[in-house]
Amino acid sequence: MNQKDGDTGDTASRRKDARRNKETLLEAAAAVFVTSGVEAPVRDIASRAGVGLGTLYRHFPTRADLIIAVYRHQVEACAEAGPALLESAPTPHDALRQWIDLFVDFLVTKHGLAAVLRSDQSGFEGLHAYFLDRLVPVCTQLLDAATAAGEIREDVTALTLMRGVGNLCIGAENDPDYDARRLAAVLVDGLRRQN
Amino acid sequence: MNQKDGDTGDTASRRKDARRNKETLLEAAAAVFVTSGVEAPVRDIASRAGVGLGTLYRHFPTRADLIIAVYRHQVEACAEAGPALLESAPTPHDALRQWIDLFVDFLVTKHGLAAVLRSDQSGFEGLHAYFLDRLVPVCTQLLDAATAAGEIREDVTALTLMRGVGNLCIGAENDPDYDARRLAAVLVDGLRRQN
DNA sequence: CAACGATACGGAACAACGTTCCGTTTTGCT
DNA sequence: AGCAAAACGGAACGTTGTTCCGTATCGTTG
């Protein structure tokens, strides 16, 4: 954490109304995301925060920026959990398994987030890039460790795995018959070198 | 096949202009889907077919109906391949593996189809339902056979597997670094009972 | 073959969305 | 207090899917 509580990053404005509005917007967005999902209309967020659309767009130039800001802390936490698990888990593959579990849990509990992470959807390239930039290196580290231990096949890249797991989580919030967590577990299990 | 070539199903109109327009629309849609993807604007399809929007919507009341009509033959072929593979393949799990390959190939080569198959997106429930109705029973049959042979774990339902594989294919058309086929193979491999 | 009712056609119009723009208001410094 | 810079609000734009209805066409019947 940089400063005290109301830290909005290094782009904090000199004007207190601007700082307050940004904070209010973040809270409103988080609340709306919980109830209506990440794809909720931008207008809903602005009106929940009691500000105009212009204000929202000045603080968060694109929809993706707002989503990133809301979830930044949790993504960071997930990224930092990688190396920790590598030390605490019995084997690298187990660390990988637990880390993927963490990631899946995160996505599955954020209504619509996984759907919006897909690369092919326009307007969300920034979001996609942020997640990948932050998490692929961590995944690479886990994958490399498991490879070095001879536990897994070597033909799946970290990027492919991350995107695959993200994709598996799409639509997992609505339908209790679709078990994304189990599927992710099966996928990670399939990574293991068959003997 | 029911009749001869220009078969448009049992809902064929008595008027030849209507029949011709429906056929033209199907061709236009297929062409547009190839070049611009399945999510291409409806207007593009109507104008490519040289008809008005009203005409398009009368023949295909929802966007999903048009997509279903375009791909119906290929979905049927995939469904029918299931039982055939079960006879030709050395083991049920191998049949399952080959069948999933078929499905993945189909999805990956249809720009944007997998993305639109997701259940959570509104307006496409019909499409989602059609695919699931047609393919889940086939998948169930393959899964049951593999289970009976003791080859696979039993905690993954056909629906979960189908949706998972469909999800894995999202965005696979654009990015050569994301290998959906391999991921699907890993997933099916993970289904195998570890020994 | 002429007329007429049923059928289908075209595209303007609507609603919902993300995003942009600009006249107005507020802020903080001098 | 005054003033420039910064931020505000929301109308307006462009793009979607979809609906609606006045007009044109078709096939049948007399």
- The predicted-structure confidence for B48-66, as pLDDT tens digits, reads as follows 999 999 999 999 999 999 9
B116 to chain A, minimum CA–CA distance in Å? 11
Mutate to test the interface with A, among B100, B120, B181 (most CBs of A within 10 A): B120
Beta bridge partners of B192: B152
Same domain assignment for residues A143 and A94: yes
Domain end, chosen from A61, A96, A116, is at A61
Per-residue pLDDT of chain A (195 residues; tens, 9 = 90+): 333 333 434 568 899 999 999 999 999 999 999 999 999 999 999 999 999 999 999 999 999 999 999 999 999 999 999 999 999 999 999 999 999 999 999 999 999 999 999 877 778 989 999 999 999 999 999 999 999 999 999 999 999 999 999 999 999 988 899 999 999 999 999 999 875
Give tens-digit pLDDT for B101-110. 999 999 999 9
φ and ψ of A152, to 5 deg:
-130, 165
Same domain assignment for residues A76 and A57: no
B84 to chain A, minimum CA–CA distance in Å? 26
Is A9 part of a structural domain of the chain?
no
A17 to chain B, minimum CA–CA distance in Å? 37
Nucleotide nearest to A64 (CA to C1'): C18
Same domain assignment for residues A107 and A152: yes
Is A106 part of a structural domain of the chain?
yes
Mean pLDDT of all residues in B79-87: 97
Sign of CA dihedral B32, B34, B35, B39: positive
Same domain assignment for residues B122 and B178: yes
Name the percent of chain B lying above pLDDT 90: 85
pLDDT at A122: 79
Same domain assignment for residues B37 and B114: no
Domain end, chosen from A61, A95, A114, is at A61
Is A130 part of a structural domain of the chain?
yes
pLDDT at A120: 78
Q: Side-chain half-sphere of A154: how many Cα atoms within 13 Å?
A: 6
φ and ψ of A116, to 5 deg:
-90, -10
pLDDT at B11: 65
Cβ-defined contact of B180 to A191 (cutoff 8 Å): no
Mean pLDDT of all residues in B14-22: 95
- Domain containing B121 equals 71-191
pLDDT at A11: 65
Closest residue by Cα to residue B24 from B57, B1, B46? B46
Is the CB atom of residue B5 positioned under 7 angstroms from any atom of strand C? no
Footprint of strand D on the protein (CB under 7 A): A 13-15, 17-18, 21, 50-55, 57-59; B 14-17, 39-43, 53-54, 57, 61-63, 123
Q: How many domains does chain A have?
A: 2
Contact (Cβ atoms closer than 8 angstroms) between residue B59 and residue B25: yes
Q: What is the pTM of this model?
A: 0.92
pLDDT at B194: 73
CB pairs under 8 A between A and B: 105
In chain B, what residues touch A121 (CB-CB under 8 Å)? 115
Cβ-defined contact of A168 to B170 (cutoff 8 Å): no
Domain end, chosen from B30, B61, B92, is at B61
Q: Side-chain half-sphere of B54: how many Cα atoms within 13 Å?
A: 0
Long-range CB pairs of A54-57 (<8 Å, 24+ gap) are A55/A21, A55/A25, A56/A25
Tell me the two tokens of residue A105: 């849990």
Is A82 part of a structural domain of the chain?
yes
Is A1 part of a structural domain of the chain?
no
Give the C-alpha separation, B103 to B98, whole Å: 9
Same domain assignment for residues A76 and A52: no
Orientation angle between helical segments A92-108 and A158-168, nearest 10 degrees:
40
Cβ-defined contact of B186 to A119 (cutoff 8 Å): no
Same domain assignment for residues A38 and A92: no
Is B161 part of a structural domain of the chain?
yes
What angle (nearest 5°) sits at the alpha carbon of residue A101, between those of residues A33 and A88? 125
**Chain C: nucleotides under 7 Å from a protein CB?**
7-13, 16-22, 26-29
Is B5 part of a structural domain of the chain?
no
Mean pLDDT of all residues in B30-36: 97
Mean pLDDT of all residues in B18-38: 97
Contact (Cβ atoms closer than 8 angstroms) between residue B115 and residue A118: yes
Nearest protein residue to the C1' atom of C26, measured from CA? A17
Give tens-digit pLDDT for B119-137. 777 789 889 999 999 999 9
Same domain assignment for residues B79 and B54: no
In chain A, what residues touch B173 (CB-CB under 8 Å)? 120
Per-residue pLDDT for B6 more than 60?
no
Residue whose pair of structure tokens reads 């492919």 in the numeric block: A160
Mean pLDDT of all residues in B94-116: 96
Beta bridge partners of B152: B192
Is the CB atom of residue A125 positioned under 7 angstroms from any atom of strand C? no
Which DSSP state fits B176? T
**B22: CATH:** 1.10.10
Q: Where would I find the H helices in A37-62?
A: 42-49, 53-59
Same domain assignment for residues A185 and A98: yes
φ and ψ of A120, to 5 deg:
-75, -15
Which DSSP state fits A50? T
In chain B, what residues touch A169 (CB-CB under 8 Å)? 167
Same domain assignment for residues A48 and A126: no
In chain A, what residues touch B160 (CB-CB under 8 Å)? 177-179, 182-183
Same domain assignment for residues B111 and B142: yes
Q: H or E segment at B95?
A: helix B92-108
Give the C-alpha separation, A139 to B143, whole Å: 31
B193 to chain A, minimum CA–CA distance in Å? 10
pLDDT at B195: 55
Name the percent of chain B lying above pLDDT 70: 94
**A174: CATH:** 1.10.357.10
Cβ-defined contact of A119 to B180 (cutoff 8 Å): no
Nearest protein residue to the C1' atom of C8, measured from CA? B18
Tell me the two tokens of residue B95: 């049949």
Is B4 part of a structural domain of the chain?
no
**Buried/exposed B76-105: b ≥16 CB within 10 Å, e otherwise:** eebbebbeebbeebeebbbbbbbbbbbbbe
**Alpha carbon separation from A116 to A166, A181, B165, B175 (Å, rounded):** 10, 18, 18, 16
Mutate to test the interface with A, among B116, B117, B143, B170 (most CBs of A within 10 A): B170
Q: How many angstroms from the chain centroid is the CA of residue B48?
A: 24
Same domain assignment for residues A139 and A89: yes
